A and B are shown apart, each in its own frame.
Chain A
Amino acid sequence: MLNIRRIALCMLGLLPAAIALTEPTFAAPTGEVKIGLAAEPNTFDPHLTVGRNTQIFIVNVYDGLTARDAQGHVVPALAESWKRLNPTTWQFALRKGVKFHNGDDFNAECVKFTLDRATHPETKATIGSELSTIAGTEIVDPFTVNVITKTPDFLLPVRLGELFGLMLSPKHTSAMGKEAIATKPNGTGPFKLVTWAKNEQMVLEANESYWRGAPKVKKIIVRPILDDAARIAALQAGEVDLIAPVPHARIAELKRNDKLVIKTIPAPRIFHVTIDVRKPPFDNVKVRQALNYAADVNAILKSLYFGYGTRLATVVDKGALGYDPSVQPYPFDPKKAKALLAEAGFPNGFETEFDSFTGSIADHSKPAEAIVGYLQKVGVKAKQNVFEFAAFGPRRVQNRTAPLFIYSIGDAYLEPSWVIRWMTQGGLGMHYKNPKLDEMLTRIEATDDPKKRAPLYGDVQKLIKEEAPFIFLYQADAVFGMSSRIDYTPRPDETQWLYPLGLKG
């Protein structure tokens, strides 16, 4: 009897604990992580960002209407849902109860203010070209907005996500002024910017009332460490826990260090050689195919990237929506290349020029040199020109590029149509046009559901491979070095999203 009473008492005593366990509890953010990056943002003003390095980082302080998950799928963020009302009107239903770091409420007014600011000529937004389809924003009710576009824009929900749709607080932005917003941002994102001494360090602190739940790490210190060797040294010495990027040449050595973890992920930068299809002999598809058979792209990946890259069959990258692995790359087959050239009437090859450049975000001159070497072996005597990137720019703008030139495009949208439209724009040295391809893309762009859109890209990839308006190359891996005490998974779209970053143990 006594025992039963005792047990009952004990159980009563445990009851509060049991209740506590059933309630969802978010662990409070703890600890500190130090990060060493090759480049820091140029500004926290989302409309004046320059370069991917800024766009992939400032998202930690802000939110867009949409976001991406770890696999790269578009998911709701400040907008809970969205739909196209008519070809040129997108409606976004906004999340309620979200607050900016300073306590301001997020609502439809913020969306209108932000997009009006981004598209106003006075802002001189550097990202203006990516939002040029927007005609205006209408507030339907405090948590519903309509964004009207000049022409149908199926990509608008992605544009208004982490890429170019980071939301500002009207009150804070107006009060701060244009210069101050660069270093004193007020977003709704998982981290608050506490201090930032440019070229020295930046301190981020967890936003404990973040709408997704508080981040795991309380404090993040970001140090710019420009030099590759010094950045790796900082990781080896334990001064920082996470570094990016790591040069491919150092991966093998760092992997042998059991205190470090190296993670790689294909970066959505698509390397390719543009062929000027207007100029003979490149108007002949057999010649273009021959060029694709001639280059041993796998060998280039092996020697220049130490194997940390992905051979691409077309200009659709592996992480993009609708990437079709069944479309196989051209094999390396110099005999076939020579045969095709002979069929096209060039049994002894021909002479041409090949433009390349140095001083851009990635190395383009060494791969170019290798490709030129392969082309020469099948009789295509290409003369390589090497420009400084800034000097190469005007050549492209004025359409004065050589019949062959190497380039790469970062597929920030992870959407093949965006890449292909850009590559077939009829400018910047890219002159391939195909009404059939246009028609296929138009049909894809009218399909709002990504799941239905994805399979439609299969035929596009087959067509592009067959037509070969480019020498299809590869995408290189993005490489992250980290200490074994942290847990971090790089995202396929390059975004340095620190929200899920955690400490082990």
Chain B
Amino acid sequence: MRAYIAARLGTAVLVVLGVSVVSFVLTFLTGDPAEIMLPPGATAAQIAKFRTEWGFADPLPVQYWRFLRRAVHGDFGVSLQHGQSSLPLIAARLPATFQLTMTAMVLAIVLAVPLGVLAATHRGGKIDLLTMGVALFGQSVPNFWLAIMMILLFAVSWGWLPTSGRGGWTHVVMPAAAIAINLMALLTRLVRTTMIEVLSEDFVRTGRSKGLREVAVVLRHALPNALIPLVTVVGLQFGYILGGAVVIETIFTWPGVGLFTIQAIMNRDYPVVQASVFILATAVVLINLAVDLLYVWLDPRIRVT
């Protein structure tokens, strides 16, 4: 088990390093921030002087070496926009993103499991049809469109929820729902399929034949078995959730890492982009690692290998 974890951690480090190299090269290729940072009246000579002073005129390997030397000390450089060290700036925005993504995940799971179970137990019936209709809508609706529609309906027309920003619990409802919708749909279908499979297994028939109530059969015996694949999928979807959060945070001006990163990309604030890619990649890798371990714990059959 220990060797397994060590190997997974080793791969995680390589993945994070690889991601940072790719993001560094990509940002280098898209040009430098000189013209965005200087006032519009700057002349060609002034732009050139600025690039030299800030080190943007150096060749790629020189810039990468400088980046790497600092990065191993956890220093991604000072933000060009904010004049502050970039890693703490990103770290300060993690709780907001964590709150949003976790709420979205919980929301998706809490809705998907009962819907999936209902659909499976009423297979072919009206409830199944309705649930699958909801799932189809959820999977095909673009979340940014849904976000704007929710704002118009719940905030502007009815005034129930605030339009944007972060504050009390009412602020998190719409952005979390907008992120959750795709995952909810995916999980509903997944739970339905696995439940149908599990419900046709021998132990379920045994349970029924020894006179257990249907509710007990479904909830106590079938459901826990059906939920194991759910854990894997939720873990794998975490990266997508973060990606969705980038869009949704921007629409709702939710002050998280996603919004901050988008602004940094727009402003070519490279130290912040680098720090944020590093942190997001680490988060995705760690969550995946956690899911793998959780899976081992949930399903004893894997432990043997």
Contact = CB atoms under 8 A, between A and B. Distances in A.
Nearest to B39: A130
B32 A130 contact: no
A393 interface: yes
A422 B156 contact: no
A409 B42 CA distance: 11
Contact of A130 (B30, B41, B50): B41
Contact of B164 (A48, A121, A178, A234): A234
A42 interface: yes
Interface in B218-255: 250-253, 255
Interface stretch (B4-12, B99-107, B132-140, B147-155): B147-155
A81 to B, nearest CB: 26
Interface string A110-132: 00000000000100101111101
Interface string A205-245: 00000000000000000011111011001101101000000
A226 B164 CA distance: 10
A136 interface: no
Nearest to A126: B37
Contacts of A454: none
Contact of B163 (A42, A178, A234, A425): A234
A200 interface: yes
Interface residues of A, number: 54
Given A199-B259, A229-B151, A233-B151, A427 B44 contact: yes
Given A223-B165, A233-B155, A179 B83 contact: yes
A43 interface: yes
A497 B210 CA distance: 79
A61 B98 CA distance: 34
Given A427-B45, A428-B44, A129 B38 contact: yes
A225 B81 contact: no
Nearest to B251: A227
Nearest to B159: A237
Nearest to B54: A124
Nearest to A229: B148
A78 B250 CA distance: 39
Contacts of B30: 388, 390-391
Nearest to B92: A198
Contacts of A230: 148, 151, 163-164, 251-253
B43 A425 contact: yes
Given A43-B82, A50-B267, A233-B164, 11 more contacts: A43-B81, A51-B36, A198-B82, A199-B253, A200-B255, A227-B251, A359-B266, A388-B31, A390-B33, A397-B48, A427-B44
7 contacts: A129-B46, A198-B255, A199-B260, A225-B253, A230-B253, A397-B48, A427-B43
Interface of B: 30-48, 50, 53-54, 80-84, 93, 148, 151-152, 155-156, 159, 162-166, 250-253, 255, 259-260, 263, 266-268
Interface of A: 42-43, 45, 48, 50-52, 121, 124, 126-130, 132, 164, 178-179, 182, 197-201, 223-227, 229-230, 233-234, 236-237, 239, 359, 388-391, 393-394, 396-397, 399, 409-410, 412, 418, 422, 425, 427-428
